[in-house]
Amino acid sequence: MCGIVGFTGRQQAAPILLEGLEKLEYRGYDSAGLAVRNDEKKVNVVKAKGRLKALAAKTNDGKALAGTCGIGHTRWATHGEPSTVNAHPHVSNDSSVAVVHNGIIENYIELREKLTKKGYQFVSQTDTEVVAHLIHYYYNGNPLETITKVMTRITGAYALGILFKDRPGEIYAVRKDSPLIVGHADDGNFIASDVPAILEYTRDVY
């Protein structure tokens, strides 16, 4: 069980993500991470082993990570030991795709072998890294078409939050048999694994 939170809007994302993850820490506390982007600039990823306070300290409570669009994750390990390398978000080799994930990809070993043969390099022991590379492999410039194609190739229960380098200000999310909600507020939009993560900002939840 893991916790996911995402925000895109007019405020700085990292402090909001950290606050949301704090409400979700019951879902996992062996590591945590953030992926935040600022306008057209690259996606910056910061991860830390241990409880959320380690990530907060590493980012000065989010102030050191500028950007108004981002995703965050707090982890309870299922594939791969608790470590910074295995912490989410996971990124494609060229860092053009960043992914956070709650759930289990049941056919990840098969997918990992196929992607390795196609030249993808894996740095973690997780099933989630497979998703980042698979999205990159199928990406055709249309996030929705790509995610739909990826969904037909992975089996298991999952909720995903996804950033694309060429889609600034946008977060993509998909779920199958794992909890995920979408929240709307006047100054931004949210995704989260559970309502408490975003109650401070909105009660408008789908």
Distance CA 15, CA 23 (A): 13
Distance CA 32, CA 81 (A): 13
Distance CA 106, CA 177 (A): 13
Q: For the full predicted model, state whether its pTM sits above 0.75.
A: yes
User: How many of the other CB atoms lie within 10 Å of CB of 76?
Assistant: 16
- Return the pLDDT at 77: 65
**Closest listed residue to residue 72, CA positions, set 62, 63, 85, 80:** 62
Tell me the pLDDT of the chain (206 aa) as tens digits.
Answer: 789 999 999 999 999 999 999 999 887 679 999 999 987 778 999 999 999 999 999 999 999 999 999 999 998 766 567 789 999 999 999 999 999 999 999 999 999 999 999 999 999 999 999 999 999 999 999 999 999 999 999 999 999 999 999 999 999 999 999 999 999 999 999 999 999 999 999 999 99
Distance CA 150, CA 178 (A): 17
For the chain, the 3-state helix, strand and coil shares in percent, each to the nearest 5, are 25, 30, 40
Place of tokens 């990570």: 65
